[in-house]
Amino acid sequence: MSAHAATADGKQLNYLNCEKGLWSWIMSIDHKRIGLMYLASILSFFVVGGVFALLVRAELFSHGKTLYGPDDYNVFFTLHGVIMIFLFIVPGIPATLGNFLLPLMIGAKDVIFPRLNRFTYWLYLFGAAIAFCAIFMRLDTGWTFYAPYSIQNRWAVVTATAAAFFLGFASILTGLNFLVTIHNMRAPGMTWGRLPLFVWTLYASAILQIVATPVIGITLLLLLLENTMGIGIFNPAAGGDPVLFEHLFWFYSHPVVYIMILPAMGVVSEIIPVFSKKPIFGYKALVYASVGIAAVSFLVWGHHMFVAGMSNLSRYIFSFLTFFVAVPTAVKVFNWVSTMYKGSISWDTPMLYAMAFVFLFLIAGTTGVHLATLGTDAHYHDTYFVVAHFHYTIQGGAVIGLFAGLHFWFPKMFGRMYNEKVAKFAWLFLFIGFNGTFIPQFILGMEGMPRRYYDYPIEFEPLHRISSIFAFINAAGYAMVLGNLFYAVFKGKKCEENPFHSLSLEWTTASPPIHDNFVQIPRVTTWTYGYGAEHAAEGEAVH
């Protein structure tokens, strides 16, 4: 195949049109197609999870019963959590943008194990199908499956844990594939010191996926065995310890936050230099910060159990280590801001998202410090303050990062451009809606509103109402974003190959890329981030 191979009617041949038909997608081992299939899947689940979130917010609009009863409420917030965490944001950026971009960014034709990649996708979908069975079985434990409530021989829990087991396995295999790919598939000259920061964050999160996920796998398997055979391990009646479940659960579920957030940080690190027309500030510091965050994240799980019975010494250690996470995170924020400093900033949509990310993640990080502090955590624990904090982390961080990346690499993926005006307008809705939803929740939390409650005292109603109204504005923002992008996939204006004048390797090949990514495996001779007036003006890569 040559690069400029064309179909009979003279169209340029690329990964989208080189093979036709549903079967060619189902059987595809092309990382770009698999990335797109992941994208379609996770965004669909995002919509479903979002609908459950709106149902929850709608019920909380008024004091007392608004729409439905408390049992339904338990089911809805559980499904919101399970779908958003396990089906949407854990595969999240790595499975979608990571799959699509990793080989392009390191100058490879594909990931190292393309067939494993295909298997992983279908395993993920299989897990998702089982998870949907749990939906109809009215799972109501919350996404954390805490024992002993979850061990009362409940088949919904068995189904959901089985689903999470398969989904976790898919996550492990993605991490494994990426890790080996980054080690062994880099193009000549793509040294570790030249690796794009997005790839570094994929690397760090791959390590987390590999090391942390097996622990949740076995924990959920124990829960499954507990429910089906009564092995007694988490059952207080048999001498088992439910708090042990919490320890094992959070040993995974704290690092998993970084599986979600690290790649988003990588996306932002790619976007900011391009739209500031300046080299990234402190490349090495950003790399060490990513690896540092990954390492420290294994040692802080105890902060979820400060009030669940823990020795004072453990409390001090976990609290101290949790504070420590703030250091590499702050290094990152400092570097992003320094990259923008005195840059010539253009306000394209990807940059708006990247800046929103920095702003929102700053709030997420600083409120995290409140929760790491033993004295304040005793007050905030299990309140809306925690809910708001992790939504700033996950939605304000990981989801905004995903959409930043989607807007940035959209022309790369489809060779088309979305409507910029609609995109900016949607961003505004999203930004205002998001903050309007969760700032009132911080206040509610400080005032003592516990999370997961169906009802609340009448004094809390005004803030709940504000939160609910803005939640719908937030949702409208997402609807606009998704509509705009979906429309542009088919009807968007054809655009130039590198509309944002990025210098990164993935933009040196055609947009959309050819099936083999590169005509010839490229030779990399310079650093990715050599932005400066002269290069950027030409919009040419300097590899």
28-67: which residues touch other proteins (CB under 8 A)?
Answer: 28-30
Using CB under 8 A as the binding rule, whether residue 112 contacts other proteins is answered as: yes
Judged by CB under 5 A, does residue 118 bind Cu ion?
A: no
How far apart are CB 65 and other proteins at their closest, in Å? 40
Q: Which amino acid is at 461?
A: E
> Can you tell me the distance from the alpha carbon of 25 to that of 16, in angstroms, rounded to the nearest whole number?
9
89 binds other proteins (CB under 8 A): no
Residue with smaller CB distance to other proteins, 183 or 494: 183
Which part of the chain contacts Cu ion (CB under 5 A), choosing from 178-186, 251-259, 355-363, 395-403?
251-259
217 binds, among Cu ion, other proteins, none (CB under 5 to 8 A by kind): other proteins
Nearer to Cu ion, 209 or 474 (CB): 209
381 binds Cu ion (CB under 5 A): no
**Of the listed pieces 115-123, 166-174, 185-193, 250-258, which binds Cu ion according to CB under 5 A?**
250-258
Query: Is 492 strand, coil or helix?
Result: coil
Give dist(CA 286, CA 266) in Å, integer: 9
Decide: is 150 part of the binding site for other proteins (CB under 8 A).
no
> Which is nearer to other proteins, 142 or 232 (by Cβ)?
232
Minimum separation from the CB atom of position 113 to other proteins (A): 7
Decide: is 57 part of the binding site for Cu ion (CB under 5 A): no
CB of 29 to other proteins, least distance (A): 6
Q: Is 30 or 506 the residue whose CB approaches other proteins more closely?
A: 30
CB–CB of 158/85 below 8 Å?
no
Residue nearest to Cu ion (CB): 254
Q: Is 199 in the site for other proteins (CB under 8 A)?
A: no
Assess contact for 64 and 455: CB atoms under 8 A. Answer: yes
- Asked whether position 242 contacts other proteins by CB under 8 A, the answer is no
Stretch that binds other proteins, among 131-139, 217-225, 299-307, 324-332 (CB under 8 A): 217-225
288 near other proteins (CB under 8 A): no
Q: Does 240 bind other proteins (CB under 8 A)?
A: yes
Rule CB under 8 A: is residue 329 a binding residue for other proteins?
no
309: how many CB neighbours lie within 10 A of its CB?
A: 9
Residues 6+ apart with CB under 8 A from 69: none
**Which residues inside 217-246 make contact with Cu ion, applying CB under 5 A?**
none
Cα torsion through 58, 62, 67, 70, rounded to 10: 100
254 is in the binding site of which of Cu ion, other proteins, none (Cβ under 5 to 8 A by kind)?
Cu ion
377 binds other proteins (CB under 8 A): no
Q: Considering the rule CB under 8 A, would residue 158 count as an interface residue with other proteins?
A: no
What does the alpha-carbon distance between residue 207 and residue 185 come to, in Å, rounded to a whole number?
17
Segment lying near other proteins (by CB under 8 A), choices 130-138, 240-248, 369-377, 428-436? 240-248
Site for Cu ion in 253-272 (CB under 5 A): 254
110 binds, among Cu ion, other proteins, none (CB under 5 to 8 A by kind): other proteins
Closest CA to 379 of 306, 314, 321, 326: 306
Position 142 contacts other proteins (CB under 8 A):
no
Burial of 458 from C-beta contacts in 10 A (0-12 / 13-18 / 19+): exposed
- Of 376, 387, 365, the C-alpha closest to 442 is 387
Q: Does 256 bind other proteins (CB under 8 A)?
A: no
**Residue (of 51, 27, 45, 77) closest to 402 by Cα position:** 45
How open is the CA angle 367-369-373, to the nearest 5 degrees?
Answer: 125
389 lies in the binding site for Cu ion (CB under 5 A): no
Residue 109 beta carbon to other proteins: minimum distance, rounded to whole angstroms: 4
DSSP calls for 402-466? HHHHHHHHHHHHHSEE--HHHHHHHHHHHHHHHHHHHHHHHHHHHTT-BTT-S---GGGHHHHHH
Backbone angles phi, psi at 137, to 5 degrees: -95, 10
Query: Which of residues 210, 333, 337, 446 is near other proteins by CB under 8 A?
Result: 210
Site membership for other proteins, residue 184 (CB under 8 A): yes
Paired tokens of 155: 């088949």
3-state helix, strand, coil in the chain (%, to 5): 70, 0, 30
Task: List binders of other proteins among 497-516 (CB under 8 A).
Answer: 515-516
Q: Quick one: how far is CA 459 from the chain centroid?
A: 35
Q: Which stretch binds Cu ion (CB under 5 A): 132-140, 252-260, 354-362, 465-473?
A: 252-260
> Residue 225, interface with other proteins (CB under 8 A)?
yes
Give the alpha-carbon dihedral of 387, 388, 394, 399, to 10 degrees: 130
CA dihedral over 105, 109, 113, 119, signed as positive or negative: positive
- The answer to whether the CB of 357 falls within 8 A of the CB of 298 is no
Residues binding other proteins: what is the number (CB under 8 A)? 48
Chain center to CA of 505: 23
Residues near other proteins (CB under 8 A): 1, 18-19, 24, 27-30, 108-110, 112-114, 172, 176-177, 179-180, 183-185, 210-215, 217-219, 221-222, 225, 229-233, 238-241, 244, 248, 251, 515-516
Residues near Cu ion (CB under 5 A): 254
